[in-house]
Amino acid sequence: MASLPLSSLSSLAGKRLLLGVSAGIAAYKSALIVRLLKQAGCEVRVVMTEGAQAFITPLTLQALSGEPVRTSLLDPEAEAGMGHIELARWADAVVIAPATADLIAKLVHGMADDLLTTLCLASEAPKLIAPAMNQAMWRHPATQRNVAQLANDGWQLIGPAAGDQACGDVGPGRMSEPEDIFSALAQHFASPIEAPKSITGNAPHIVITAGPTREALDPVRYLSNHSSGKMGYALAAEAAALGARVSLISGPVNLATPHGVERIDVETAMQMHQAALRLAPQAALFIGCAAVADYRADSAAEHKIKKTDDSDTLTLTLVKNPDIIAEVAALPANQRPVVVGFAAETQDLAGYAQDKLQRKGLDMIVANDVSQQGLGFGSDENAALLFWRVTSGTEQLAAPPQPKTQLAALIIRQALTLLPTQSSGALS
């Protein structure tokens, strides 16, 4: 199980959370949601619809939560004392994950034909919902009307994410990952009073680039890399949880936008360059975590490039893309943020990282060895060497293999110590 973001523990400790589970294949992920919440010190009670029990047993969630799982509105023992009203009043928040299209439609129309929908009507607690369904069902106008109405009624939507689905389709509708749902709950409870405990003074504006870029060769092919964007998104989530104002410039990834983060979607290195140079002068901190393509095609073919029988080779002319991180670091002093870069290497990690730190004029660099199996690109864990400038030269810190959420907390906190105190908030 992934470790929790360090800033999430205090906001959730002692909270009473009611987890609703409806009939979707993603119901198996509800077990991890319960574990994450329990690890954060929450009291968790689970309510399941009848259909949800076909995907995961009540006994599993009872063992993880340490509390009986409620499944029926007409339970004589529980309802002897109007148990559903007591449970509705007990919760500090209600979260439903997964939430099917059917359940969402019932909630919109105020139906109360089972325990979960009845609790939602009876509870005055904040309510969060993580939709999960086939991509066509999610895109259907009826579903889109329903989720818009839920938002108008005060529900907070978490996701959905996009990607491969159990039915074989690809697209939006996947339930957000348990860590993202946990993060949304933690940030929901991080009140304006609590946030300054992490960042004091004016909240800094942090701009982060994440994910890969894609450089078109023709209408169907492109140059890219294996970056999943997970590290950049973890950084954005951690910075937002600490109280910063975060702009996330994202290449194409299958990840949900972290709660409270402004996301700017781009595809090519030139688009990311344009967005970065527009936002960087407004920022206190710029973190270049994206895996930007070094080269792009001199000109993309208008039509699909065809394979020919008269040649076994294909020659492409590539041109160099702008060096985004170096250009941000070279901004005039009155526009330049503190600049943090990343170095993904396969050998001589420390040597290449320190060279890049000096050559590009960065304030800090995070270097990771992408040749290590299970770390870096696409994985949930990473290890890194951090180097940053001090008056007498550079200092460094080695971070052993750990979940990217945990490493993100370390990186953000170290980067914030480099900010001038007069221009932004600081850690308390």
Write down the CATH number for the domain with range 195-427.
3.40.50.10300
Annotated binding-site positions for CTP: 288-290, 294, 304, 322-325, 342, 356, 360
Active site residues: 167
Predicted pLDDT of residue 94 = 94
Annotated binding-site positions: 288-290, 294, 304, 322-325, 342, 356, 360
Predicted pLDDT of residue 84 = 66
How does pLDDT run across 74-129, given as a tens digit for each residue? 665 555 444 667 888 898 999 999 999 999 999 999 998 899 999 999 888 899 99
Q: Where in the chain is the domain with CATH 3.40.50.10300?
A: 195-427
Predicted pLDDT of residue 26 = 92
Predicted pLDDT of residue 83 = 60
Q: Which CATH superfamily is domain 6-189 in?
A: Flavin prenyltransferase-like (3.40.50.1950)
Whether this prediction's pTM lies above 0.75 is answered by: no
DSSP E strand boundaries for 83-137 = 93-99, 127-131
Buried b (16+ CB within 10 A) or exposed e, 60-72: ebeebbeeebbbe
* Type of residue at 101: A
Q: Where in the chain is the domain with CATH 3.40.50.1950?
A: 6-189
Q: How far apart are CA 190 and CA 272, in angstroms?
A: 31
Q: How far apart are CA 37 and CA 265, in angstroms?
A: 31
Give the ranges where 280-403 is alpha helix by DSSP (H).
324-329, 349-359
The three-state secondary structure class of 38 is: helix
Positions of the chain with pLDDT under 50: 1-9, 80-82, 191-198, 422-424, 428
Predicted pLDDT of residue 193 = 31
